C-alpha cells in the first residue's frame, strides 16, 4: 500500500514533468486573502521550480470562491491557457453558506474541466477554522497551492502525451496495428483474407 500523505506539499520531485512550454492561469479568490495569497505564492513558486516560465503564468482575481468556476471557463477558452488553477478558502461558519458555496464551487470547477477539455484544478481549502486554513497555506500541513500547481503540470503533461500518442498513430498506423485492430475489430488491419484481394501493406488507399 502507498504511504499515507501527511503533508500537502510532499511529492517526489523527480516524478514531475518539465513545465517548460506550458502556460497556466491562476485564479485567486479575494475572500480570506491572507490564506489565498499564500496559496497563490506557493503555486507560482512551484510552477517556476518545475520549469514554467514567468511570462507563462497569468494571475487573476475573483471576489469569492463562488466566482471561480465562471472565471475558470473564461480562462480555459483562452489560447494562452493549458490549465487553470483555482485557489480559494471557504471557512466553515455559522451560516449554511459554507455548504452552498463548497458544493457549487466543486461541481462548477469539475464541469468546466469536463466541458472544455482543459484541466481545471481544485485548489480550494474548506477548513473548519482559521487555524486549519493557515496550517494548509504554508504551515505544518504544507501548502495546497503547491499541490494544485503539481496537479496542473501533471494533467497538462498527461493530455499532451495522449495527443502525441494519437498523432503517432496517424503518422505511422502500421506500427500500431495490434492496438488499432483491438479498437476497431474487423478494420483495415484485420488479417482476414477476404478483406483485400492483395495484402500490400504499403497501399494506404485501402485505409480510405
Ligand atoms: C459570501 C461568502 C461567505 C459567507 N464565505 C465565503 C468564504 O468563506 N470564502 C469565499 O471564498 N467566499 C465566501 N463568500 C463569498 C462568495 O464566494 C461569493 O463571492 C459571493 O456570494 C458573491 O457571489
Question: Model confidence at 52, in pLDDT bands (50, 70, 90)?
Answer: very high
User: pLDDT tens-digit profile of 143-201?
Assistant: 999 999 999 999 999 999 999 998 888 888 777 777 777 777 655 555 555 545 555 65
- pLDDT for the residue 6: 60
Q: Residue 1: its pLDDT value, please? A: 37
Q: What angle do CA 159, 163, 166 make, to 5 degrees?
A: 140
Among residues 63, 66, 60, 71, which one has the least CA distance to residue 30?
63
Asked if 23 and 81 touch (Cβ cutoff 8 Å), the reply is yes
Same domain flag for 80 and 106: yes
More confident residue, 93 or 61: 61
**Coil, strand, or helix at residue 33?**
helix
Instruction: Answer yes or no: 97 catalytic.
Output: yes
Task: Give yes or no: residues 57 and 108 share one domain.
Answer: yes
Do the domain assignments include residue 34? yes
pLDDT tier at 103 (50, 70, 90 boundaries)?
very high
81 and 145 both lie in a single domain: yes
Kindly state whether residues 155 and 177 are assigned to the same domain: no
Angle of the 97-116 helix axis to the 68-76 helix axis, nearest 10: 10
Report the number of distinct structural domains present in the chain.
2
What is residue 67's predicted lDDT score, i.e. its pLDDT?
98
Residue at 41 is within a domain: yes
Instruction: Please classify residue 198 by burial: count the beta carbons closer than 10 Å to its beta carbon, then call 0-12 exposed, 13-18 middle and 19+ buried.
Output: exposed
Claim to verify: residue 112 and residue 79 sit in the same structural domain? yes
Residue 135 is assigned to a structural domain of this protein: yes
Q: Are residues 99 and 149 in the same domain?
A: yes
179 and 148 share one domain: no
Record the pTM: 0.82
**Pocket residues: Cβ below 6 A from ligand 1:** 29, 31-32, 63-67, 88-91, 97, 101
Q: Dump pLDDT digits (tens) for 20-38.
A: 999 999 999 999 999 999 9
Pick the atom of ligand 1 nearest to 32's CA: 9
Which are the contacts of 75, defined by CB distance < 8 A and separation ≥ 6?
Answer: 25, 27, 58, 60, 81, 84
50 and 82 share one domain: yes
Q: Which of 11-15, 120-124, 163-167, 170-174 has the lowest mean pLDDT?
A: 11-15
Q: Whose CA is nearest to atom 14 of ligand 1?
A: 64
Q: Does 15 fall in a domain?
A: no
Evaluate whether residue 4 is within a structural domain. Answer: no
**Closest residue by Cα to residue 147 from 28, 8, 21:** 8
Domain that holds residue 123: 22-159
Residues 93 and 132 in one domain: yes
pLDDT greater than 50 at residue 2? no
Let me know if residue 95 belongs to a domain.
yes
Counting ligand 1 atoms within 8 A of each CB, the residue from 66, 68, 98 with the most, and so the one to mutate, is 66
Banded pLDDT at 82 (limits 50, 70, 90): very high
CATH number at residue 45: 3.40.50.960
User: Is the predicted pLDDT of residue 40 greater than 70, yes or no?
Assistant: yes
- Is 73 within 8 Å of 171 (Cβ atoms)? no
Mean pLDDT of the chain: 87
Q: Which atom of ligand 1 is nearest to the CA of 66?
A: 17
Question: Is 12 a domain residue?
Answer: no
Q: Is the residue at 14 inside a domain?
A: no
SS3 state at 25: strand
Atom of ligand 1 nearest to the CA of 63: 19
Q: What is the pLDDT of residue 98?
A: 86
Asked if 185 and 82 touch (Cβ cutoff 8 Å), the reply is: no
Amino acid at each position: 500500500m502507498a504511504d499515507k500523505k501527511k503533508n500537502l506539499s510532499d511529492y517526489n520531485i523527480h516524478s514531475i514533468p518539465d513545465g517548460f512550454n506550458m502556460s497556466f492561469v491562476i485564479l485567486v479568490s479575494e475572500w480570506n486573502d491572507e490564506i489565498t495569497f499564500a496559496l497563490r505564492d506557493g503555486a507560482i513558486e512551484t510552477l517556476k521550480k518545475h520549469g514554467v516560465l514567468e511570462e507563462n503564468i497569468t494571475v487573476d482575481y475573483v471576489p469569492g470562491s463562488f466566482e471561480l468556476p465562471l472565471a475558470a471557463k473564461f480562462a480555459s477558452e483562452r489560447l494562452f491557457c493549458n490549465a487553470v488553477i483555482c485557489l480559494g478558502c471557504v471557512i466553515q461558519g455559522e451560516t449554511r453558506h459554507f455548504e452552498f458555496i463548497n458544493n457549487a464551487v466543486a461541481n462548477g470547477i469539475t464541469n468546466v474541466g469536463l466541458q472544455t477539455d482543459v484541466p481545471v484544478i481544485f485548489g480550494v481549502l474548506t477548513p473548519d477554522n482559521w487555524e486549519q486554513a493557515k496550517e494548509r497555506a504554508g504551515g505544518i500541513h504544507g501548502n495546497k497551492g503547491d499541490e494544485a500547481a503539481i496537479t496542473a503540470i501533471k494533467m497538462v503533461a498527461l493530455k499532451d502525451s495522449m495527443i502525441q500518442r494519437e498523432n503517432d498513430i496517424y503518422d505511422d498506423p502500421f506500427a500500431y496495428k495490434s492496438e488499432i485492430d483491438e479498437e476497431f475489430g474487423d478494420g483495415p488491419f484485420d488479417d482476414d483474407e477476404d478483406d483485400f484481394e492483395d495484402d500490400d501493406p504499403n497501399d494506404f488507399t485501402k485505409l480510405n
